[in-house]
Structure 1
Amino acid sequence: MLARALTRSLLASRPSMAAVPRRCPAILPRNSPLLLSTLQQQSRTYALKKRRPYTGGDPSKDVDPADADPIIPTEANASPLSQDEAAAAASSSSSSTPTSDAADPTAKQTSTGGGGGKGDEPPPKTSTGGGGKGDEPFPKPSYVSSTDRKRERLARLVFVSFLAALVGGAIYLGQDLNEFEKTIYDTAAVPNGWTASAFYARLKARLQNVLDFYNEPPFEKLLPDPHPDYSRPYTLVIALEDLCVHSAWDREHGWRIAKRPGLDYFLAYLFNYYEIVVFANQHDQFAAPVIQKMDQYPGYIMYPLFRSHTRYKDGKYIKDLNYLNRDLSKVIMLETNPDAWAMNPNNTIKMKPWTGDADDKELVKLIPFLEYIAAMGISDVRPVIEDFGEKDVATEFARREALARAELKKRVERERAQKKGSLGEVLMGALGMAPPKKRREDEEKTFMDLARERGQQMYEETQKHIAEHKDEMMMEQKNMEREAAEQMKTSLSKIFTEGLPKPPGQA
């Protein structure tokens, strides 16, 4: 019965179907305006979900019949519509009449005509939910879970806390200077008062002081005051990586550290002239074991320094010699990194990085120049180093020394030639009193040759003394390490009951 009624209805309404847009075909009831409006609203919503993009009202480019809305009969036993009733139903479906609007106040007036005129516009999106966008079936807040709401509240709380801390910190850093801070800051540049300029000056000064705690060396004096028994007239600061040692990695062995050829002799020989300090660019947990292994015995390196003792500025780790607590006119630094000598270029001998060559002699070749500085008692090493410019110091000094030795030899030969024809020389030769050969050789030696002989003699005596008193020195070193360990074991309760421990050697 349902199929027969549907067929009769279609045949009866065929002449008027041309007026019905293809995009909204439907068989409408004839006796229920409210139901008609409801079905129209549902059909439009369904079509908006499945239809293709709007084509400006061109039927030829509209949706395919397969994509159109299904034909939903409302009454199974409905009698077929006459031509006049079908035309009236189609007209009411294509343009919402006041009757349908009056019957359903919630329905919106929409145009579904497919004539392609200028007035035709795509039907607006309708919402079937309470507050959602477009054709979303539910309002947006219903999609937010309780966990998301908690996260949003927490994010807002964190943001407000951060903003409050930022404002509070700015007010705290901008407050007036106290009596102690007046002795630290320049009161002329950082005045008190609540003007904008004074507030900004105090804020900037205190913030810079906080940053300096991390960017500046931890102490104003990195080295203790010179000890009268162990002090040397000059201080030699040596870099660690790529100057004393070289680190390399390969698949077979992993990380390996090589010691530069001649390093032991270099340290032992210059120990007689210089206070040797190793300034590493690495952290102490990495560099300290390397230094200890490199100078295990007897300890030519007096003080080690690490990255924490450098100065951080403009993205560079600078070895600022002004913090050494030594006279800069007597300080020489050997360095391979240009960033390290940025503050003291005139105190630095720039060297090429050692790449692990086993036949390298550059470090040993530098000994004559450093020995010349100490033997001559140079009052200020900076002009001497600056005089070499960008030249290799060891090579240039060897060239100058060779020229000085050749000039001395020429002068000695001229003097000998003048003395040879003199009466005194003739009488001494006749009596067999010619000057000995050693004396003649000494006359051809330069001052540096004589100084090097004395330095070599001091080196041999030092090595002999170390070999003879090795056991005593090792015992003394162990005692010092034991005392240091005892100091570290001091408990907090002992500090409160007995006070701070006294330094070794004091009663």
Structure 2
Amino acid sequence: MSTRNFTSKSTDDTKEATKGTSAASAAVEAAPQILSKLFPQTAEPTTEEAERERKKQEEESRKEKEKSWKRMKLSFAIFGASAGMLAFWAVYNFGSPECDPEGNIIEDEFSKLPIVQQYLQRMWKSMTYYQKMIQEPSRAKLLPDPLKPPYIQPPYTLVLEMKDVLVHPDWTYQTGWRFKKRPGVDTFLEQAAKHFEIVVFTADQGMTVFPILDALDPNGYIMYRLVRDATHFVDGHHVKNLDNLNRDLKRVIVIDWDPNSTKLHPDNTFNIARWTGNDDDTTLLDLVAFLKTVATAEIDDVREVLQYYKSFDNPLAQFRENQRKLLEQMELQEREEKQKETPVVKRWTPSFLGRSR
């Protein structure tokens, strides 16, 4: 091969390589454009555009706050107007003087006061009256006066809670809601009525209590029924105030499971366990034995006995234990008396037989 031919060939190779390099460079330069067409992207905002967007958002936020504040002021205005109208109605309605059937104003203790003070004073008196109606019993004497001879007044008064003492609300798919009788309740009422004036005193409404007691006590052992309107409302609890019972508290026993309902007279309360509906309960049978013991012993002040049993966690269990010990002591005394009598007969009989021989 000649030198000329070699040089020509080298030049051609160089041209080909240059063309390849140029094509590769062109492909690299065109790659971003191709990618941008395949995967379009949002152009990044400039500094001015970002500033305009920020100001726009701030303006929208400011307008929204102004709208919220206007709505709030309107709500306050409506509430204030409503409260003012309600206050004016209350003052006018509760503070107006009473009128006779002919429409003439009846003078009262506020009639000589200035007109505004008259209405305010009468309104306050009316509000206090309705508050007392809710918080205090509906009458000063919850029970009538004790019976006079020849009628027989039971020597003691037994005050019973109804719910979870005598009956328990129970629900099943078959029957729905119903009140279940506590085991032994019939015997309990029958035996207790021989020595006690039985009163049911509960915080439930009368429309609930009366039908239940009618079914529970067809024989009328329960002499009186007191419901919610006879209670005091104290610290969120309906409390049984025995001061309104019109009975000597030395001879009143309250049976309840809730200490809050009898907190004004804890010394008169005999607390028992709350019945939850179990069928193997014997509390009422033990309780009637305790009550009969108190009555037959003719205790002058039952609070002394109740105070003693209050010191035990389970008063009825302690009563059963005391009765067991008393029975054992009585049996022991009987045996000792028999043993004292028996030796005398034994000593006298052999001597008699010996002399006769």
TM-score above 0.5, yes or no:
yes
The reply on whether 1:212 has 2:132 as its aligned counterpart is yes
Residues 257 and 274, structure 2, Cα contact 8 Å, conserved in 1: yes
Q: How does 1:130-141 map to 2 (within 5 A)?
A: none
Q: What one-letter code is carried by the residue in structure 2 that aligns with 1:223?
A: L
Match of 1:417 among 331, 336, 339: 339
The reply on whether 1:242 has 2:231 as its aligned counterpart is no
Give me the whole-angstrom Cα distance separating, in 1, the residues matched to 2:217 and 2:127.
41
Counterpart position of 1:162: 86
Q: Deviations over 1:128-181 (max 9, x none)?
A: xxxxx98xxxxx9xxx9xxxx9x99987654433344567799999xxxx9999
Secondary structure at 1:303's aligned position in 2?
A: strand
Residues 95 and 121, structure 2, Cα contact 8 Å, conserved in 1: no
Secondary structure at 2:154's aligned position in 1?
A: coil
Please report how far the alpha carbon of residue 375 of structure 1 lies from its aligned counterpart in structure 2 after TM superposition: 0.6
Q: Deviations over 1:423-469 (max 9, x none)?
A: 698469989xxxxxxxxxxxxxxxxxxxxxxxxxxxxxxxxxxxxxx
The structure carrying a bigger helix percent of its residues is 2
Residues 240 and 281, structure 1, Cα contact 8 Å, conserved in 2: no
Match of 2:279 among 339, 353, 358: 358
Please report how far the alpha carbon of residue 420 of structure 1 lies from its aligned counterpart in structure 2 after TM superposition: 2.4
Distance 1:319 1:428, change over 3 A: farther
Give me the whole-angstrom Cα distance separating, in 2, the residues matched to 1:381 and 1:418.
38
Residues 95 and 122, structure 2, Cα contact 8 Å, conserved in 1: no
Please report how far the alpha carbon of residue 373 of structure 1 lies from its aligned counterpart in structure 2 after TM superposition: 1.0
The reply on whether 1:288 has 2:277 as its aligned counterpart is no
Please report how far the alpha carbon of residue 302 of structure 1 lies from its aligned counterpart in structure 2 after TM superposition: 0.6
Residues 279 and 306, structure 1, Cα contact 8 Å, conserved in 2: yes
Give me the whole-angstrom Cα distance separating, in 1, the residues matched to 2:349 and 2:153.
53
Gaps of 5+ in 2: 1-44, 98-106, 115-119
The reply on whether 1:333 has 2:254 as its aligned counterpart is yes
Residues 236 and 275, structure 1, Cα contact 8 Å, conserved in 2: yes
Give me the whole-angstrom Cα distance separating, in 2, the residues matched to 1:61 and 1:426.
132
Aligned residue pair count:
278
Residues 234 and 374, structure 1, Cα contact 8 Å, conserved in 2: yes
Q: How does 1:60-75 map to 2 (within 5 A)?
A: 61=50
Please report how far the alpha carbon of residue 391 of structure 1 lies from its aligned counterpart in structure 2 after TM superposition: 3.2
Please report how far the alpha carbon of residue 63 of structure 1 lies from its aligned counterpart in structure 2 after TM superposition: 6.5
Secondary structure at 1:339's aligned position in 2?
A: helix
Give me the whole-angstrom Cα distance separating, in 2, the residues matched to 1:330 and 1:202.
43
Please report how far the alpha carbon of residue 410 of structure 1 lies from its aligned counterpart in structure 2 after TM superposition: 2.1
The reply on whether 1:383 has 2:307 as its aligned counterpart is no
Question: What is the TM-score of this pair, normalised by structure 2?
Answer: 0.66
Counterpart position of 1:502: none
Residues 419 and 425, structure 1, Cα contact 8 Å, conserved in 2: no
Q: What one-letter code is carried by the residue in structure 2 that aligns with 1:403?
A: K
Counterpart position of 1:316: 237
Of 221-230 and 409-418, more deviation after overlay is shown by: 409-418
The reply on whether 1:279 has 2:268 as its aligned counterpart is no
Q: Deviations over 1:235-281 (max 9, x none)?
A: 11111111111111133431122111111111111111000111223
Give me the whole-angstrom Cα distance separating, in 1, the residues matched to 2:186 and 2:308.
29
Please report how far the alpha carbon of residue 383 of structure 1 lies from its aligned counterpart in structure 2 after TM superposition: 1.1
Secondary structure at 2:200's aligned position in 1?
A: strand
Residues 215 and 311, structure 1, Cα contact 8 Å, conserved in 2: yes
The reply on whether 1:301 has 2:290 as its aligned counterpart is no
Question: What is the TM-score of this pair, normalised by structure 1?
Answer: 0.47
Distance 1:180 1:352, change over 3 A: farther
Give me the whole-angstrom Cα distance separating, in 2, the residues matched to 1:213 and 1:391.
37
Q: What one-letter code is carried by the residue in structure 2 that aligns with 1:367?
A: V
Secondary structure at 2:332's aligned position in 1?
A: helix
Q: What one-letter code is carried by the residue in structure 2 that aligns with 1:160?
A: G
Which structure carries more relative contact order (alpha carbon 8 Å, separation 6+)? Answer: 2
Q: Deviations over 1:316-373 (max 9, x none)?
A: 0111111111111101111012221111111111111111111211110112210111
Give me the whole-angstrom Cα distance separating, in 1, the residues matched to 2:49 and 2:289.
100
Gaps of 5+ in 1: 1-54, 65-121, 127-132, 135-139, 182-192, 195-199, 432-507
Q: What one-letter code is carried by the residue in structure 2 that aligns with 1:359?
A: D
Give me the whole-angstrom Cα distance separating, in 1, the residues matched to 2:83 and 2:129.
27
Please report how far the alpha carbon of residue 284 of structure 1 lies from its aligned counterpart in structure 2 after TM superposition: 0.6
Q: What one-letter code is carried by the residue in structure 1 that aligns with 2:184?
A: G
Distance 1:430 1:305, change over 3 A: farther
Counterpart position of 1:251: 173
Counterpart position of 2:269: 348
What RMSD in Å do the two structures reach over aligned CA positions? 4.2
Residues 420 and 426, structure 1, Cα contact 8 Å, conserved in 2: no
Q: How does 1:396-475 map to 2 (within 5 A)?
A: 396-422=318-344, 426=348
Counterpart position of 1:480: none
Give me the whole-angstrom Cα distance separating, in 1, the residues matched to 2:146 and 2:199.
13
Secondary structure at 2:180's aligned position in 1?
A: strand
Q: What one-letter code is carried by the residue in structure 2 that aligns with 1:337?
A: D
Q: What one-letter code is carried by the residue in structure 2 that aligns with 1:325?
A: N
Distance 1:209 1:366, change over 3 A: same
Distance 1:266 1:428, change over 3 A: farther
Give me the whole-angstrom Cα distance separating, in 1, the residues matched to 2:138 and 2:267.
24
The reply on whether 1:374 has 2:298 as its aligned counterpart is no
Distance 1:163 1:329, change over 3 A: same
